Amino acid sequence: MWATYDYTNFPTVYVTISGSIESPRDFTHFIEQWLQLFNNGTAFNLYFNTINCGYINIKYAILMAYKIRQFKKNKYTNLQFSKITVANKFILILLRLIFYIEAPIAPVEVYYEKNKIINSEHFYPH
């Protein structure tokens, strides 16, 4: 699986992204689990670890922006915030693209290392 959800510390949900998306089913599974969290109705937070993430086709960044737009249309409000750890510059660029196309549902903080210093960027809903 490309994305593994860990509900052990709910309402904090840890999502580990590893490798590359091998088929559209990997992405669909990722979205389906996220929808289950929304449909549960309980407030939650997401912590994404993308340190072992491989190459991701840009089409999935565009699809993710589209999914965020759909989530907003459904008026999901139980996601409180997300934190994303990034170790790959390309993944950081994809995240910037996603949030340029569509602002997040809830505040997002992205952590990455640059010149041996931990930096962060924040993205907010509109």
Per-residue pLDDT reduced to its tens digit, 49-97: 999 999 999 999 999 999 999 999 999 999 999 999 999 999 999 999 9
Count of domains observed in the chain: 1
pLDDT of the residue at 70: 96
pLDDT of the residue at 114: 86
**CA gap 104, 99 in Å, rounded:** 6
Which residues form the domain of 70? Answer: 3-123
| pTM of the predicted protein model | 0.95
Q: Are 107 and 125 in contact (CB under 8 A)?
A: yes
CATH at residue 31? 3.30.750.24
Q: Are 23 and 58 in contact (CB under 8 A)?
A: no
Q: Which of 31-35, 96-100, 106-110, 114-118 has the lowest mean pLDDT?
A: 114-118
Q: Six-digit token pair at 93? A: 């660029």
Residue 42 CA, distance from chain mean position? 18
Higher pLDDT pick, 116 / 9: 9
